Chain A
Amino acid sequence: NAGVTQTPKFRVLKTGQSMTLLCAQDMNHEYMYWYRQDPGMGLRLIHYSVGEGTTAKGEVPDGYNVSRLKKQNFLLGLESAAPSQTSVYFCASSSLAGGPKFTDTQYFGPGTRLTVL
């Protein structure tokens, strides 16, 4: 049981290049999330998904796109990378708790460190 995995672990891009980050989870979770972590800013939600085939915008969605074609995978794409997208990206997943009100614990991946030159 690997939990949440992310590939790649590190990447360096030039401005204008594109790339896709892959997140996979083997816990059969409905919800998946992409965050970015920047010094002094905490974690900010980029996009999230409440189920296969559905995605929604978070706090900082501009410059990113996502897809959830399979329940276990959540892809984050950068079409034209910018230096402002230099960050550590975390994927997370969770199930909806037994009741209707609150979510269950979010389980995080190890992170992808992206540098855009």
Chain B
Amino acid sequence: AQRVTQPEKLLSVFKGAPVELKCNYSYSGSPELFWYVQYSRQRLQLLLRHISRESIKGFTADLNKGETSFHLKKPFAQEEDSAMYYCALSGSRGSTLGRLYFGRGTQLTVWP
């Protein structure tokens, strides 16, 4: 069965420090992985997806199939990065196609 695990409910760092939000997944196939972000009082929006191999707002995420992980990283955190971050998986076949499976989210706080 498909599952997304974000082990940290809360994460706090100081401005300028590196930040890593962890995400592990289980899926018997080749999923697509996403990071969505929800800033305070805003709607959920896509931050990045592994298939695009982009860096958005300084964030990157590498899909590690051996460790089934898709950790989100940024070398120098900014206060405006404070938000709730969700890792999500999209299946590639059958009833999982078109659906997103979300982790429980990590609330990131970046202190000045």
* A interface residue numbers (CB < 8 A to B): 31, 33, 35, 40-45, 48, 50, 56, 58, 90, 92, 94, 96, 101-103, 105-106, 108-111
Number of interface residues of B (CB under 8 A): 24
How many angstroms from the CA of A59 to the CA of B44 in the assembled complex? Answer: 19
Given contacts A42-B105, A43-B86, A90-B43, 13 further A-B contacts (CB under 8 A): A40-B9, A45-B101, A56-B95, A90-B44, A92-B44, A96-B98, A101-B92, A102-B51, A103-B90, A103-B99, A108-B44, A108-B45, A110-B43
Q: Are A105 and B104 in contact (CB under 8 A)?
A: no
Tell which of B46, B93, B104 touches A106, judged by Cβ atoms closer than 8 Å.
B46
Tell which of A43, A50, A110 touches B98, judged by Cβ atoms closer than 8 Å.
A50
Q: Is the interface of B mostly helix, strand, loop or mixed?
A: mixed
Q: Looking across the interface, which residue of chain A has its beta carbon closest to that of B95?
A: A56
* B interface residue numbers (CB < 8 A to A): 6, 9, 32, 34, 43-46, 49, 51, 86, 90, 92-93, 95, 97-105
Q: Are B100 and A106 in contact (CB under 8 A)?
A: yes
Which residues does chain A contribute within 8 Å of B105, judged by CB atoms? Answer: 42
Q: Is the interface of A mostly helix, strand, loop or mixed?
A: strand
What are the nearest 3 A-B pairs in CB distance?
A: A42-B104, A108-B44, A43-B102
Q: Are A109 and B43 in contact (CB under 8 A)?
A: yes
How many angstroms from the CA of A43 to the CA of B103 in the assembled complex? Answer: 8
Tell which of B86, B90, B102 touches A102, judged by Cβ atoms closer than 8 Å.
B90
Which one of B34, B43, B97 has the greatest number of beta carbons of chain A within 10 Å?
A: B43
Report 11 cross-chain contacts, Cβ distance below 8 Å, ordered by A residue. Answer: A40-B9, A40-B104, A43-B44, A43-B100, A45-B99, A48-B98, A48-B99, A92-B44, A96-B98, A106-B46, A109-B43
Known pairs A42-B105, A108-B43; A103 contacts B86 (CB<8 A): no
Q: Looking across the interface, which residue of chain B has its beta carbon closest to that of A108?
A: B44
